[in-house]
Amino acid sequence: MQLTTATSLATFCAGRFEECTRLAEKVVREMPTFLPAWRIMSAGYALSGLADQANRAMMKVLELDPVARVSVVAPLLPLRRTEDREHYREGLRRAGLPE
């Protein structure tokens, strides 16, 4: 499942949010408490304009990690490109993760 999560992240960075969320959904069906997939899914939904789905996914993130914050979560991903880091941060924000 970690490979599927990594692929989901790669598609997120490529701007293919529908594919990103589909892959992350597959991961959380098999591993319902795997936070990285929930975070990527929520950001992908948010950046594709699917606010309801993004908010539902973020509610699960916050259920699993009530103290999660953009400032703490975003640096956890080893994203090299500045634009990828900023897209991820923006997706998390839009999905409802507190700063």
Q: Where are the domains of the chain?
A: 2-95
Report how far residue 7's alpha carbon sits from residue 53's, in angstroms, rounded to the nearest whole number.
Answer: 20
Alpha-helical regions (H) of the chain: 2-13, 17-30, 35-47, 51-64, 70-73, 82-95
Report which residue type is found at 98.
P
Query: Residue 70 class from Cβ within 10 Å (0-12 exposed, 13-18 middle, 19+ buried)?
Result: middle
Report which residue type is found at 83.
E
Domain spanning 2-95, CATH class = mainly alpha
Tally of CB atoms within 10 A around 41: 31
Per-residue pLDDT of the chain (99 residues; tens, 9 = 90+): 677 888 999 999 999 999 999 999 999 999 999 999 999 999 999 999 999 999 999 999 999 999 999 999 998 888 889 999 999 999 999 999 999
Q: pTM of the full predicted structure?
A: 0.93
Say what the pLDDT of residue 76 is.
Answer: 87
Say what the pLDDT of residue 46 is.
Answer: 98
